[in-house]
């Protein structure tokens, strides 16, 4: 079995395990917070869930493309100056964990912010924002081509900072489980720790379709990064507020997969002087 196939199978298996863990975790939290009524999914949530599962299957089947691009980029970066892996060995594990998560979040913050500001990349990221019934599986609503761009860049940042393969695996595990949590229907702000660790309320405001909430709350884990760069916004409970964006393709798998391509065709027909001023509004 080649390394490529082995990594592919490991990623697929890990994804299935993480989704199962996320389902158990969020179901338990929702039941403890809201009672058994929270476990009932209406027609909207069922449609959304079905599309998100469909994207999990499709993205899983094409995950090899992400691996190819990531491997190619890391091979190119081998000759670049980077932090030796041994620098991390003598650090206490809690310092290692925080530093690794901060590297991931700081890198993701700027990629995420760029995804909202760039007219060409927004159609890819818009697929994630198309869910109008936000729930834990909404974390899995993503276009495979967005992964092709962002995963290699985040992996490259981790490599330059000297993170080991085990360290990157830790990041993936924590990120996936945390994304299940912040996309859930729980309206938790984390009280006095709301600026330290992102909760569902913080991230739901990122998805809310209101002008004051557009282009806000880009961090994965640490809201203080948004506070530092002027993009923090939480004005109260966000549960029940509309999510999505204008022109949303909705809960339809094929239109979601085609949405970026259709958007790029339209964008290419826009005069360059107008195109440069276009940006995402969600």
SS (H, E, C) the chain: CCHHHHHHHHHHHHHHHHHHHHHHHHHHHHHHHHCHHHHCCCHHHHHHHHHHHHHHHHHHHCHHHHHHHHHHHHHHHCCCCCCCHHHHCCCCHHHHHHHHHHHHHHHHHHHHHHHHHCCCCHHHHHHHHCCCCCCHHHHHCCCHHHHHHHHHHHHHHHHHCCCCHHHHHHHHHHHHHHHHHHCCCCCCCCHHHCCCCCCHHHHHHHHECCHHHCCCCCCCCCHHHHHHCCCCCCCCCCCCCCECCCCCCCCCHHHHHHHHHHHHHHHHCCCHHHHCCCCCCC
**Alpha carbons 265 and 250: distance in angstroms, whole number:** 20
Q: Does the pLDDT of residue 260 top 90, yes or no?
A: yes
Split at pLDDT 50, 70, 90, the class of 92 is confident
Helices 122-129 and 93-117 pack at an angle, to 10 degrees, of 110
Joined tokens for residue 106? 């700081």
Split at pLDDT 50, 70, 90, the class of 106 is very high
- Residue 56's pLDDT is 86
Q: Which residue has the higher pLDDT, 35 or 46?
A: 46
- Residue 17's pLDDT is 65
84-88: average pLDDT: 79
Residue 75 included in any domain: yes
Contact status, residue 281 vs residue 245, Cβ threshold 8 Å: yes
Joined tokens for residue 276? 């440069």
Residue 282 included in any domain: no
155-162: average pLDDT: 85
- How do residues 126-144 score in pLDDT, each as one tens digit? 999 999 988 888 988 999 9
**Alpha carbons 272 and 63: distance in angstroms, whole number:** 34
Q: Does the pLDDT of residue 14 top 70, yes or no?
A: no
Residue 152 included in any domain: yes
Residue 107 included in any domain: yes
Poorest-pLDDT segment among 52-56, 171-175, 254-258: 171-175
Please give the residue range of the domain that contains residue 28: 3-275
Split at pLDDT 50, 70, 90, the class of 55 is very high
Q: Which residue has the higher pLDDT, 7 or 24?
A: 24
Split at pLDDT 50, 70, 90, the class of 174 is confident
Residue 281 included in any domain: no
Contact status, residue 138 vs residue 127, Cβ threshold 8 Å: no
Residue 235 included in any domain: yes
Residue 241 included in any domain: yes
| 71-75, 174-178, 252-256: range with highest mean pLDDT | 252-256
Q: Does the pLDDT of residue 151 top 50, yes or no?
A: yes
Q: Which residue has the higher pLDDT, 206 or 162?
A: 206
- Residue 1's pLDDT is 38
Task: Provide the number of structural domains found in the chain.
Answer: 1
Q: Which residue has the higher pLDDT, 188 or 198?
A: 198
End-to-end C-alpha distance for the chain, whole angstroms: 44
Split at pLDDT 50, 70, 90, the class of 4 is very low
Per the prediction, the chain carries an average pLDDT of 83
168-195: average pLDDT: 85
Split at pLDDT 50, 70, 90, the class of 2 is very low
9-34: average pLDDT: 64
Split at pLDDT 50, 70, 90, the class of 225 is very high
**Burial (0-12, 13-18, 19+ Cβ within 10 Å), 199:** buried
Residue 280 included in any domain: no
Predicted TM-score (pTM) of the model is 0.84
Split at pLDDT 50, 70, 90, the class of 40 is low
């Amino acid at each position: 079995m080649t390394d490529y196939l082995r990594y592919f199978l490991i990623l697929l298996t890990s994804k299935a395990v993480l989704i199962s863990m996320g389902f158990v975790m969020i179901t338990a939290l929702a039941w403890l917070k809201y009672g058994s009524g929270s476990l009932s999914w209406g027609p909207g949530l069922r449609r959304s869930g079905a599309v998100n599962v469909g994207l999990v299957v499709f993205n899983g089947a094409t995950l090899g493309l992400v691996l190819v691009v990531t491997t190619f980029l890391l091979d190119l970066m081998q000759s670049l100056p980077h932090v030796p892996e041994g620098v991390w060995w003598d650090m206490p594990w809690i310092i290692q964990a925080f530093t690794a998560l901060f590297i991931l979040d700081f890198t993701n913050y700027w990629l995420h912010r760029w995804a909202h500001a760039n007219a060409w990349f927004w159609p890819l990221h818009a697929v994630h924002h198309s869910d109008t019934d936000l729930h834990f599986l909404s974390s899995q609503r993503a276009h495979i081509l967005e992964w092709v761009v962002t995963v290699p860049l985040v992996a490259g940042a981790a490599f330059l900072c000297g993170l080991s393969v085990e360290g990157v695996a830790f990041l993936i595990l924590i990120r996936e489980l945390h994304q299940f949590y912040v996309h859930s229907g729980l309206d938790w702000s984390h009280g006095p720790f709301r600026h330290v660790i992102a909760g569902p309320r913080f991230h739901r405001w990122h998805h809310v379709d209101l002008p004051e909430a557009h282009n806000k709350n880009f961090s994965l884990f640490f809201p203080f990064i948004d506070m530092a760069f002027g993009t923090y916004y939480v004005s109260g409970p966000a549960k029940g507020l509309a999510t999505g964006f204008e022109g949303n393709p909705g809960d339809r798998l094929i239109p979601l997969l085609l949405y970026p391509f259709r958007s790029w065709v339209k964008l290419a027909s826009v005069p360059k002087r107008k195109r440069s001023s276009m940006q995402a509004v969600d």
